[in-house]
Copies of this chain bind each other. A is one copy, B any other.
Amino acid sequence: MNRVNEFAFKIATANGSGSASANSLIMQAIFRMGVPVTGKNVFPSNIQGLPTWYEIRVSGKGYTARTPQFDLMVALNPATYEKDVKEVQPGGWLLHDSTWPLDERLHRSDITLIGIPLAQMCNDHFSGVRERILMKNIAYAGALSALLGIDADIIRTLLKEKYGRKPALMDSNQKAVDLGFTYAMSNFPCPLPIHLAPLDKTKDAILIDGNTAAALGCVYAGATVGAWYPITPSTSMMEAFKRFCLKYRRDTESGTNRFAILQAEDELSAIGMVIGANWAGARSFTPTSGPGISLMNEFLGLAYYAEIPAVVFDVQRTGPSTGMPTRTQQCDLMMCAYASHGDTKHICLYPSDPREAFEFAVKAFDLAERYQTPVFVLTDLDIGMNDWMVPMLQWDDSYRPDRGKVLTAEQLAEAKAFYRYLDVDGDGIAARSLPGTHPKGAYFARGSGHNKFGGYTEDAEEYTEVVDRIARKVNGARRAVPAPVTQGPGNARLGILTVGGCHAACMEAVDQLAAEGIVVDYMRVRGFPFGEEVTAFLEKHETVFVVEQNRDGQLRSLLTLETGVPVARMESVRYYGGYPMSAHHVIAGIRARLEKVA
């Protein structure tokens, strides 16, 4: 394999040590060189001191999935030396701080050691604990710049953009970069065989995380009320929403806001606020993660049955229970689809990357209001918190929110009578009215038994009529959720079906399989309830590999339940250790099954 622009490296530090700036400096510089790059932040559920890693994959071919195979390890955390050194690919490199004598655990005959006296250099050139620690990080960035051929000018430019207004900081950062750069240059054969060469593959792209993109989607969708309770890995979404709102929705003259962000006391309250705001007519949403959804179950059933829109972002993390809050999984697929007691079913959207997170955020509000029901957008820690290279976000200025059937004061005034749950159009969707609009619009929303006129009932037929219509309504959304993405000849014997962030790994796996002569058709579902094309795909292929990130094969469960296709027709390929899915896992899973069959 050509290693120029095709390699991966990993930086091991301690949490809270300030390495994030250095890591994103490196990422950004590579990106500016026009070379596709992905970064995965592997951090602990801790504020200071526990091990943290940053993984950078460079792929001129444009592969963005995580790879578990690292050519270079920057091992700066003694607590994880042993583990870290094991992860280097044979023939690879290990960069360590040679200020101290070499730790025994760093010995491996099949890799090359690169010792750089980072601490020593920084102690010599900087004063004060804080600066010394901080600059050590920037120094390793400088060294990597030399070793990997990252354009030094670009780094300089990036530092200027960042610290332009603070010359002193600019100077010390540049000095630290130079220290690392120069030391590497003079002591090692730079660049290494794994290195960068400028390309032009990033000019229409951006580096963005899914939480930021989803928050932007909420802004563009016209959402005005955000309610939340902090929980990793969703927290940064509301922080981004606030940032954007302060930028775009604040009338500085009058000092008034065209948004409200409510930090609730818990998730029960957050979803209550969202339902209340939507009932009152605002587009309102809440970002959360698994434990939050669990707590929202009761309220979600209310919104489903009383038919009130609500948009919930579930940035999934490793379950069950508190699980591993800083590791990724797709483990809430079942819970979101059927949340709450009683018979329920909810619309779900599954973005595969930050760009879709942006688009589906907008879509979610349209669907929630059109179908008057909760809509989930399921991302995960990997999509939500990591920086992904995606095509620039597009916006069509002709877009106007689909508010669904909301009666105006005029319509209500003209109407003979208004009955909240009457299916006038035969599509299962009854018109709603908003508080304060018109006396005739009044109705009494309730989660208890009601008939189609909105009256309280305990009558079997009246009750059944309404819940049957709601089932029809939600099932109807299968035609409105984003259609699956497909690829392949269409008539292959094998299929791969996946969801969300597994996309990148699957695409890479499809290419690798093709290289081995194994042709597969590919489908990625993007919405629930599933459309008919999903059933068709499953029925058409002898074997479909269902690729997902959870222990119990939840996507496969949903497929079985909703398409009727027997489980046996699906081969489950799962990885759920908490890292993002990689092509490696997909291929290994498929190979194991193919061998089993053969």
Query: Does any Cβ of B come within 8 Å of A45's Cβ?
Result: yes
Once the chains bind, are B302 and A331 in contact (CB under 8 Å)? no
Chain B residues near A565 (CB-CB < 8 A)? 566
A384 to B463, CA, bound (A): 22
Once the chains bind, are A44 and B566 in contact (CB under 8 Å)? no
Partner of A577, one of B325, B461, B550, B557: B461
Once the chains bind, are A551 and B343 in contact (CB under 8 Å)? yes
Partner of A301, one of B320, B343, B460: B320
Partner of A319, one of B329, B343, B458: B343
Once the chains bind, are A298 and B301 in contact (CB under 8 Å)? no
Query: Does any Cβ of B come within 8 Å of A338's Cβ?
Result: yes
Once the chains bind, are A567 and B567 in contact (CB under 8 Å)? no
A295 to B302, CA, bound (A): 13
Query: Does any Cβ of B come within 8 Å of A265's Cβ?
Result: no
Once the chains bind, are B458 and A44 in contact (CB under 8 Å)? yes
Once the chains bind, are A567 and B568 in contact (CB under 8 Å)? no
CB within 8 Å of B: which A540-598 residues: 550-552, 554, 557, 560-561, 564-568, 576-579
Once the chains bind, are B294 and A320 in contact (CB under 8 Å)? no
Partner of A579, one of B302, B325, B460, B554: B460
User: Which of A28-36, A278-286, A464-472, A506-514 participates in binding chain B?
Assistant: A464-472
Chain B residues near A568 (CB-CB < 8 A)? 564
Once the chains bind, are B342 and A320 in contact (CB under 8 Å)? yes
Once the chains bind, are A458 and B334 in contact (CB under 8 Å)? no
Once the chains bind, are A345 and B552 in contact (CB under 8 Å)? yes
Query: Does any Cβ of B come within 8 Å of A13's Cβ?
Result: no
Chain B residues near A193 (CB-CB < 8 A)? none
Once the chains bind, are A551 and B468 in contact (CB under 8 Å)? yes
A461 to B184, CA, bound (A): 35
Query: Does any Cβ of B come within 8 Å of A327's Cβ?
Result: yes
Determine the residue in chain B with the shortest Cβ distance to A566.
B566
CB within 8 Å of B: which A445-462 residues: 446-449, 458, 460-461
Query: Does any Cβ of B come within 8 Å of A531's Cβ?
Result: no
Partner of A446, one of B294, B322, B342, B468: B322
Partner of A567, one of B301, B305, B335, B564: B564
Chain B residues near A44 (CB-CB < 8 A)? 458
Query: Does any Cβ of B come within 8 Å of A93's Cβ?
Result: no
Can you name 17 A-B residue pairings with CB atoms under 8 Å? A45-B458, A295-B295, A297-B335, A298-B321, A301-B320, A304-B321, A319-B340, A319-B341, A320-B344, A320-B467, A325-B448, A332-B341, A342-B550, A343-B552, A467-B576, A560-B560, A564-B568
